[in-house]
């Protein structure tokens, strides 16, 4: 495992004018006559000594188009059995320097090493040359995971037993327990950001919106940005403008994902923040000081239209899907309006749901029957009201095969 790129290396990328200092090639530092070859060699030697070139990988197919860049499946040329996912760092809007958002994502990924968190192997770059005006493209290189949960749930042939669902949710909560213990908030929980390897190991992915948090010292409240988390998975405190939030925002998303294991599509598909709040009230009951004493202090509480006299119907509405009473009870404890009363990852992991028969069981065998990777990007839309915006058209239908595994590309 190698991850040597320092943020200094990266930050120097575009600020640093090749040939503006030093004399790597024996050329005078201020010489304007440094030839192309010398410039390239200079960049090679000084700017990114620990950042390998993308040539070591061979792109296989595109598997994702995210807000912040494309994701490709690639093969490690030195070990053809090894696949990686390469996430391109979008530099388009950066006039200078390496994007701070990508730096944050990298710093967080470097900190987090856990079985249920996607593993960042290294950062790679394309060769800087006159063809790209000496601006490398950077890629975050991850261990490859064959599936994402959104893709799996969109495939009607993929059927999870109760024990398998328990295993998915348990691993999801294990990942959250770990990142929260390390004082990191994910802030973009959704099925497309949950990866699963062919052996059934779940990995939390996409730390593009993640941040470190600390419990407020000397009572000074945090003022984090409020516009985080994909709308359908956004908890009520964020919708009401809370900026002093914490781990419960991710547990709300975990609850939404858990329910989706049975419903197979997101349970609250709002088309605006107001609509999302309305859907939440219809499922979890009216948002009032009686159930959430501090809610009146939130900026938007008086400004939004708050549906009144709504009964809490979490168990009633989800029982037809979930059937299992322990599952309903755990969901009832995750989808709690007041974040201070919402179950945390540790409490959820101790719930009887995980400690009663059928016990959580391995997913590897079931996934072994599905050797077609189905990423959300590649899967047909699961719902009429898609919230993802693909800036690129989907590729034409084809099937790419490697080592018994197929990537279905629509």
User: What is the set of active-site residues?
Assistant: 188
Binds ligand ATP by CB under 6 A, chosen from 134, 144, 232, 252 = 144
Query: Residue 142 binds which entry of Mg ion, ligand ATP, none, with Cβ cut-offs from 5 to 8 Å by kind?
Result: ligand ATP
Query: Residue 68 binds which entry of ligand ATP, Mg ion, none, with Cβ cut-offs from 5 to 8 Å by kind?
Result: ligand ATP
Query: Residue 175 binds which entry of Mg ion, ligand ATP, none, with Cβ cut-offs from 5 to 8 Å by kind?
Result: none
Closest to ligand ATP by CB, 35 or 225: 225
Give the whole-angstrom CA distance, residue 109 versus residue 351. Answer: 29
Closest to ligand ATP by CB, 145 or 298: 145
Closest to Mg ion by CB, 205 or 240: 205
Closest to ligand ATP by CB, 166 or 187: 187
User: Residue 40 is encoded by which pair of tokens?
Assistant: 């390239």
Give the whole-angstrom CA distance, residue 283 versus residue 266. Answer: 13
Give the whole-angstrom CA distance, residue 180 versus residue 108. Answer: 12
Closest to ligand ATP by CB, 202 or 205: 205
Look at residues 194, 81, 185 and name the one whose alpha carbon lies nearest to residue 145. Answer: 194
86 lies in the site for ligand ATP, by CB under 6 A: no
Binding-site string for Mg ion from residue 203 to residue 242, where x marks contact by CB under 5 A and - marks none: ---x------------------------------------
Give the whole-angstrom CA distance, residue 373 versus residue 156. Answer: 14
Element (H, E) at 83: strand 79-88
Least distance in angstroms from the C-beta of 196 to ligand ATP: 9
Binds ligand ATP by CB under 6 A, chosen from 98, 245, 262, 375 = 375
Which one of 21-29, 30-38, 204-212, 351-359 is the stretch in contact with ligand ATP (CB under 6 A)? 204-212
Rounded to the nearest 10 degrees, the angle between the axes of helix 7-15 and helix 100-111 is: 160
- Point out which residues pair with 70 in neighbouring strands: 65
118 lies in the site for ligand ATP, by CB under 6 A: yes
Calculate ∠ Cα 269-274-275, nearest 5°: 30
105 lies in the site for Mg ion, by CB under 5 A: no
Backbone angles phi, psi at 136, to 5 degrees: -70, 155
Least distance in angstroms from the C-beta of 288 to ligand ATP: 33
13 lies in the site for Mg ion, by CB under 5 A: no
Closest to Mg ion by CB, 122 or 206: 206
Element (H, E) at 36: helix 36-42
Give the whole-angstrom CA distance, residue 331 versus residue 342. Answer: 10
Give the whole-angstrom CA distance, residue 275 versus residue 305. Answer: 9
Beta carbons of 59 and 72 less than 8 angstroms apart = yes
Helix, strand, coil proportions of the chain in percent (round to 5)? 35, 15, 50
CA distances from 178 to 90, 116, 189 (A): 28, 9, 15
175 lies in the site for ligand ATP, by CB under 6 A: no
Q: Is 82 annotated as a binding residue?
A: no
Least distance in angstroms from the C-beta of 256 to ligand ATP: 15
Footprint of ligand ATP (CB under 6 A): 63-64, 66-69, 71, 85, 87, 118, 142, 144-145, 148, 192-193, 195, 205-206, 208, 375-377
Footprint of Mg ion (CB under 5 A): 66, 193, 206
């Amino acid at each position: 495992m190698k991850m040597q790129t320092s943020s200094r290396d990266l930050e120097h990328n575009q600020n640093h004018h090749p040939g503006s200092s030093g004399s790597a090639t024996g050329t005078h530092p201020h010489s304007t006559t440094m030839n192309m070859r010398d410039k390239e060699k200079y960049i090679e030697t000084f700017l990114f000594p620990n950042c390998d070139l993308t040539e070591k990988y061979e792109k296989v197919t595109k598997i994702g188009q995210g807000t912040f860049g494309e994701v490709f499946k690639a093969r490690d040329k030195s070990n053809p059995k090894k696949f990686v996912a390469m996430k391109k760092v979008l530099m388009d809007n950066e006039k200078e320097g390496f994007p701070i958002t990508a730096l944050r994502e990298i710093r967080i990924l470097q900190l987090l090493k856990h079985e249920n968190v996607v593993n960042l192997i290294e950062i790679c770059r394309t060769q800087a040359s006159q063809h790209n005006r000496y601006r490398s493209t950077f890629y975050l290189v991850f261990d490859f995971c064959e599936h994402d949960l959104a893709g799996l749930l969109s495939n009607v042939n993929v059927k999870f037993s109760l024990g398998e669902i328990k295993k998915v949710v348990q691993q999801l909560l294990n990942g959250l327990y770990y990142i929260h213990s390390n004082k990191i908030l994910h802030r973009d929980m959704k099925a497309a950001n949950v990866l699963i390897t062919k052996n059934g190991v779940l990995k939390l992915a996409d730390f593009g919106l993640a941040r470190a948090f600390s419990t407020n010292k000397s009572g000074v409240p945090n003022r984090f940005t409020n516009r985080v988390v994909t709308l359908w998975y956004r908890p009520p405190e964020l919708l009401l403008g809370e900026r002093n939030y914490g781990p419960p925002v991710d547990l709300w998303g975990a609850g939404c994902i858990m329910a989706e294991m049975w419903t197979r599509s997101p349970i609250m598909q709002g088309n605006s923040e107001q609509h999302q709040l309305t859907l939440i009230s219809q499922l979890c009951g009216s948002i009032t000081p009686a159930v959430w004493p501090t809610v009146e202090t939130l900026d938007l509480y008086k400004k939004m239209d708050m549906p009144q006299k709504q009964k809490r119907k979490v168990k009633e509405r989800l029982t037809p899907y979930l059937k299992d009473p322990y599952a309903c009870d755990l969901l009832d404890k995750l989808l709690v309006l007041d974040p201070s009363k919402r179950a945390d990852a540790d409490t959820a992991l101790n719930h009887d749901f995980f400690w009663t028969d059928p016990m959580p069981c391995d997913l590897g065998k079931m996934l072994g029957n599905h050797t077609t990777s189905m990423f959300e990007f590649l899967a047909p839309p699961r719902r009429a009201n898609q919230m993802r915006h693909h800036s690129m058209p989907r590729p034409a239908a084809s099937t790419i095969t490697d080592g018994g595994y197929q990537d279905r590309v629509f």
